[in-house]
A and B are shown apart, each in its own frame.
Chain A
Amino acid sequence: KKQHKKNKKDDRGPPEKEKEKEKASVLAPSKPATQSPAHKGTASKYVPLRSDYGYKVSLFSHLHQYSRKNPPTQQISIPATVIHPSIVRLGLQYSQGIIAGSNARSVALLHAFKQVIQDYSTPPNEELSRDLVNKLSPYISFLSQCRPLSASMGNAIKYIKKEISNIPSQCKEEEAKRRLQECIDSYINEKIILASEAISKYAIEKISDGDVILVYGCSSLVNHILCEAFEKQRKFRVIVVDSRPRLEGREALRRLVKKGIRCTYVLISALSYILPEVSKVFLGAHALLANGYVMSRVGTSQIALVAKAYNVPVLVCCETYKFCERVQTDSFESNELDDPDDLIVTRNGKTHLENWQTVKSLGLLNLVYDVTPPDFVDLVITDLGMIPCTSVPVVLRVKNVDQ
């Protein structure tokens, strides 16, 4: 049994709670720690803990803050028999930010699971439906330590586990594997690719000629919508709003400019200046919560707030597989803290925050998500149609009944 290192920070939930967490598709560990290595579940005993980095702001001390410079695999050695190499690679890609965006992360996760299922072989005296699920658990806890799971990933994992458990026991292994791979392919196809086609179709009805559309950051869905609308010969121009430290808007800008769309680029502090020109705001979402709140990249709620003050309609585009049953009212309980060193910048040769770690009373906060109240959002465009924010629990119920 692998001996764990002495615990550095004490707010990691025990792994059993992690498993329940995955089942409930909660984003980040939100329960206080009761730490003792002896209570670790057997599934995750091989996955070491990743240590937090730097001083955490007291309001967020229940969350984890990792440094991008210390990848999880450098600190510990993971034997290949425990974690599949494609999962290790995926975890590193998550932690370094190479794969970012909830759709991209879910698709990458599903492809990695396909590889895992491909390489899986049932041990003797075990049933595939039960053993495979157990094999997946340490992978999932490893991934959540590289970067906390997103709501879309959580829903995908729930789906896969359900499909695996539904494999009848008399099914042969090859047949079972083939069926699972087909399930994963159809999930990706229906929930992500076809869904984005449907959403584009609805959204393009909302774009008229002469529109000035404001987008924030880089949402694959919104970029897809704009490119489709441009191909359908709609005349509009786009304003891309960006924010430090991620500066994802530049990526969106590149894609739109390559397509030939006329673009303007500002930072989020210039929002009040640019909003009087805007006719519509299109926002992407990371998850839609059951009480109608929209969880998205930090800064989205600000855009919705100022747009409301200027009476500009705000449209959120979100696929139904991102709807989750959690409820949340503000951005503190469940969030993600990114590497605080990202905030450091050098201007005119001076880096003011260089030695922020040495100063005792100075902290840097790099939030990743925030929640937007439903009164700021005018419309949510999903693959099921255009609904108001408050109809999310209806959709969830319909989905549950279907399943």
Chain B
Amino acid sequence: MDGWWGCYNTVLIADKQQKKSRIHDPGEVSVWFRKCSSVQNQRFTETLVKMPGADKETDLSERIESFLSELKRCGSGAGSLRGSAETARETTALLRRITAQARWSNAGDLMEIIRKEGRRMTAAQPSETTVGNMVRRVLKIIREEYARSRGSTEEADQQESLHKLLTSGGSSEDNFRQHFAHLKANIIEAINELLTELEGTTDNISMQALEHIHSNEVIMTIGRSRTVEAFLKDAARKRKFHVMVAECAPFCQGHEMATSLSKEDIETTVIPDAAIFAVMSRVNKVIIGTQTVLANGGLRAVNGTHTLALAAKHHSTPLIVCAPMFKLSPQFPNEEDTFHKFVSPHEVLPFTEGEILSKVNAHCPLFDYVPPELITLFISNIGGNAPSYIYRLMSELYHPEDHEL
């Protein structure tokens, strides 16, 4: 009867009488406690102290707050402090904790809670779209599990949506108000599956490398993408090719990428951004990573990518984007003001240029929009797709009602 089991909050109650061995709602557990005597408590493998609800919630909200403050902090210049895969994983783990620890009795409540927290998280760092994507995935998981518990099959669901399209009436069932006993367990299991999928994305993408790279190729890339790095390193085990890395000023992430690739004995050349068009005529393929894949198949990628895409189109060089599925976001590229993110202009014009600084506007945007016509292929953890297919993948991952959190 000591300690607060913080991590999973799975209370395994091995009890002769009750023979329950699954997760219990914390509210139920505290009721159960009052019933049992202290003798039976010794048999608990992991114990749960009878806490008033406030402490649990404060711990949960503490974790949410710390996650939010980390999100806010990591939005500075040179990419995020951690990669988007990590952000996705942490978001999903946090959502799993919310599912497990928060007070809810039916799916509708849970979805409200997650939506609320999701809105706060996306507001903390709007440019980090993986957070919102993971929230929407979890909401879709909840809907699916609810539907499964109710007994309706998946095909019926799809037929329903088509039917809904035609009849344009009928609210979404019964607002998820029914209570199911095993819903929590199922949801958490499904979230665990999502986490395993997230962990395997980079490997799944790099496994496809040998299908796309032949020998003696010249491949161009820009900046630093961990996905592309793993992709190229995997192909280098069996093929010999040459990589040109555009350094992507002002942060010059390309330098790090080049040193890491050259350590694996891949012939690498670092070129300045200005030389992209000049050398493009000798490049066979362009392989890039991206920050977000938008709903129309376009990209929001590091700045300089649009120039690279235009140069590739001019020379009819294929442009391949390596992006895991968690980067697919249901947003469209809207006005310029909401799309761009800027950092301090001193990266571009440093303070040492003192006298002219006050009379000059300097801009340092981080992202570029690449329209889908310039992209040849998307390689993701579920395989290769054309940009025209992205809308279909999106409908499989997210529910249309969740597009606006």
Contact = CB atoms under 8 A, between A and B. Distances in A.
Interface stretch (A177-185, A194-202, A271-279): A271-279
Contacts of B266: 361
Which of A270, A363, A365 is packed against the most chain B CB atoms within 10 Å? A270
A276 B336 CA distance: 10
B307 interface: yes
A250 B357 CA distance: 11
Which of A244, A273, A332, A367 is packed against the most chain B CB atoms within 10 Å? A273
A218 B363 CA distance: 19
A365 B274 contact: no
A402 B348 CA distance: 48
B361 A269 contact: no
Nearest to B244: A365
A271 B369 CA distance: 12
Can you list the 9 inter-chain pairs with the closest CB atoms, starting with the nearest? A299-B274, A269-B304, A370-B278, A272-B306, A243-B274, A362-B262, A352-B255, A331-B278, A302-B277
B356 interface: yes
A107 interface: no
Interface stretch (B158-166, B245-253, B380-388): B245-253
A264 B363 contact: yes
Interface string B360-396: 1111110011000000000000000000000000000
A273 B365 contact: yes
Nearest to B248: A269
18 contacts: A243-B272, A244-B247, A244-B250, A263-B359, A267-B249, A267-B364, A268-B307, A299-B275, A305-B310, A306-B306, A306-B310, A331-B278, A331-B279, A343-B270, A348-B78, A362-B270, A365-B272, A367-B278
B249 A243 contact: yes
B272 to A, nearest CB: 5
B262 A361 contact: yes
B121 interface: no
Interface residues of A, number: 52
Contacts of A370: 275, 277-278
A182 B156 CA distance: 94
A171 B218 CA distance: 61
B259 A359 contact: yes
A362 B258 contact: yes
Given A365-B270, A367-B278, 4 more contacts: A266-B364, A267-B273, A309-B310, A332-B281
A359 B262 contact: yes
A365 B262 CA distance: 15
A386 interface: no
Given A270-B365, A305-B277, A363-B269, A59 B255 contact: no
Which of A263, A267, A274, A371 is packed against the most chain B CB atoms within 10 Å? A267
Given A274-B363, A362-B258, A298 B263 contact: no
A305 B276 CA distance: 11
Interface in A350-373: 352-353, 356, 359-367, 370-371
B360 A353 contact: no
Interface in A331-346: 331-332, 343, 345
A253 interface: yes
A136 B275 CA distance: 35
A268 B276 CA distance: 11
Contacts of A265: 348-349, 360-363
A352 B303 contact: no
A253 B281 contact: no
Interface residues of B, number: 53
Contacts of B329: none
A264 B273 contact: no
A400 to B, nearest CB: 31
Interface string B281-300: 11000000000000000000
Contacts of B263: 359
Contact of A272 (B244, B250, B307, B314): B307
Contacts of A257: 356, 359-360
A362 B259 contact: yes
Nearest to A304: B277
Contacts of B262: 359-362
A360 B353 CA distance: 37
A31 interface: no
Contact of B268 (A330, A331, A363): A363
A365 B356 contact: no
B265 interface: yes
A4 interface: no
A33 interface: no
Contacts of A273: 303, 340, 363, 365, 368
A57 interface: yes
A23 interface: no
Interface in A268-306: 268-274, 276, 297-299, 301-302, 305-306
B267 interface: yes
B279 to A, nearest CB: 7
A168 interface: no
Contacts of B12: none
A245 interface: yes
B311 interface: yes
A299 to B, nearest CB: 3
Nearest to A309: B310
B210 interface: no
Contacts of A267: 249-250, 273, 348, 364
A254 interface: yes
B311 A57 contact: no
B271 to A, nearest CB: 5
B62 interface: no
Given A244-B247, A253-B356, A254-B356, A270 B363 contact: yes
Contacts of A298: 272, 274-275, 278
Contacts of B248: 269
A272 B366 CA distance: 11
Contacts of B282: 59, 332
A347 interface: yes
Nearest to B265: A361
B274 A305 contact: no
Interface string B212-253: 000000000000000000000000000000001001111110
